[in-house]
Chains A and B, each alone.
Chain A
Amino acid sequence: MSGYELIYASLLLGVFVLCAGGYGVLYTLAQLQNAASWLYGARTFYGLQWLTTAAIVATTPLAAGWKLLIVVSCLVTLRVPQVIWKYLELIHK
């Protein structure tokens, strides 16, 4: 891995998690306030996370196993805020 590839790959990995965080926060706000605008924001972040995933898979020299892990993580992230939200509602009832 060259120096530039190192910086590029690590920054993409950071953005990947940041997008997951943005998606989680905005999804929760959308549910709390029942507001479509937050939901659009959440979807945008999740979309950005997929774009980041695509960039990681297509353009970084990470090994195939790690790329697969990133793709699976991105898929799992979709359900994390939803499952947690449902569970939080359940235990608060």
Chain B
Amino acid sequence: MYRSQQLALKYFIAAIALFGIMIVFGLLASAQYVHMGFLFQVLDFSITKTLHIDTMILWLLMGFMGCIYWFLPQELERDVEGIKLAEIMFYILCTAIATVAAVFIFVQYGGSNEFSMWFINQGRKYVEAPRWAAIGIVLVVLVFSYNIVATAIKAKKITGIMGVLMIDLVPLFALYLIAFPRITNMSVDLFWWWWLVHLWVEGTWEVLIGCIMALALMQLLGTARRIVETWLYIEVALVLGTGILGLGHHYFWIGTPEYWLAIGGLFSALEPLPLLGMVVHAVYDAGTHHMKTTNKPALYWMMAEAFGNFLGAGVFGFMMTLPQINLFSHGTQWTVSHGHFAFWGAYACGVLSVVYVALQKARGLEEMNGIRWKWSFGLLNFGMIGMVGALLISGIAQAFYERAIGGSTIQAFIDAQSNLWFLQGMNARLVFGVLFAIGYAVLVYDLLTIGGKHRTKQAAVLRPA
């Protein structure tokens, strides 16, 4: 195994640990919806929610980095350039995350001044990390980019996938810089902030996961490079073609000109088309191979990625993206429902698929199968579908009672929060959240033990008489 792949395994361990922390804070936040006073002034909702969202971004980011560090030496047939620096950065990133989390939990608040911005909380949703940590993230991404570009240059080999990946590194790095400016006009601030949030997620991350899935497909199903690369180009063109201006659906109600209603609505409405293409491709690939593979969990998670992305981003997104609907639905649990499902389908399932691909090779297993991964696959997906269904009910209740009937007044907001449909939705979300957490526990157990018997047998065979 290459040194870079050993680093990838560390990234996967950190990512799965953060996934667990994300679930814990998600459960706490959902419990706070059901029991309003739960942990009040000890660990407030604002903190549990922040930690839930930030760990979600970080576990996926670390998962992506793990995937790239895993596949890069295989793709370029040499170890990663600057691997020592990458290893140092991994520990710096872990330390920074732990420190920021500790500050969020134990300090929580600060005044609205330079000190709190640098050391407690920047105060911007999704990029709450204090400025010192944000600079750290920039450094980590810079080193990550250096690793990829320098390795390709040293190897004198730039494949189609590598070309797409290297181009993607530019916006991946540049867009994060939007976390830094201090803009006092809220509309202008939100205008640029959405570049970071939307274009990272529906631009650079989509391309990144496309590259990762292309590399995984070659390893998992032995699909020819020519095929995955051609498909990658098409998917990237379609996703970016619809996704970049799909940014407009965030500009509907933040004080931007009215033409964004048409642009955002039109391009968002086109976004399901490439997702439909992905589903057709997934069924084609699985069908031509008759679902036969030596790594069943990886294949199933990959299939879940295509279908989850279509349902979460495509179906749930389209339900609420046209401006006339979005006027009522934005910022309610309806959006939360769409967000959960889309992130799960588009990214989380893909990362989990590659984790199984990596484990198969790391443990030298000819075949990956068993019963536990099926339980975790079932519980996690069932839990997620239950959660997003429950959130959808709560969100629709909010849009109906608070916005459409109540006219978005403060009293209407309070009334909707105590509406039975809303409350039952939030209760159901907590129950399905617990199921999801059980699925996670089974997943961790499976990841730790899968192939254990095989390894014991192998060790017995290798042991000298």
Which residues in A have some Cβ–Cβ distance to B below 8 Å?
1-3, 6-7, 9-11, 13-14, 16-18, 20-21, 24-25, 27-29, 32-33, 61-63, 65-66, 69, 73, 76-77, 80-81, 84-85, 87-88, 91-92
Contacts and interface: CB of A to CB of B under 8 A. Distances in A.
Contacts of A20: 272, 276
B316 interface: yes
Interface stretch (B109-117, B200-208, B293-301, B399-407): B399-407
A89 B280 CA distance: 12
Interface of B: 224, 226-227, 230-231, 234, 262, 265-266, 269-270, 272-273, 276-277, 279-281, 283-284, 287-288, 310-311, 314-316, 318-320, 322, 324-325, 327-329, 396, 399-401, 404-405
Given A28-B287, A91-B231, A13 B277 contact: no
Contacts of A73: 269-270, 273
Secondary structure type dominating chain A contacts = helix
Contacts of B318: 13-14, 16-17
A6 to B, nearest CB: 5
Contacts of A33: 287
A17 B284 contact: no
A93 B59 CA distance: 39
B283 A61 contact: no
Residue of A1, A14, A27 with most chain B CB atoms under a 10 A cut-off? A14
B425 to A, nearest CB: 14
Contacts of B404: 1-3, 6
A28 B327 CA distance: 37
5 closest A-B pairs (Cβ-Cβ)?
Answer: A3-B404, A32-B287, A14-B319, A28-B283, A3-B400
A84 B278 CA distance: 9
B325 A9 contact: yes
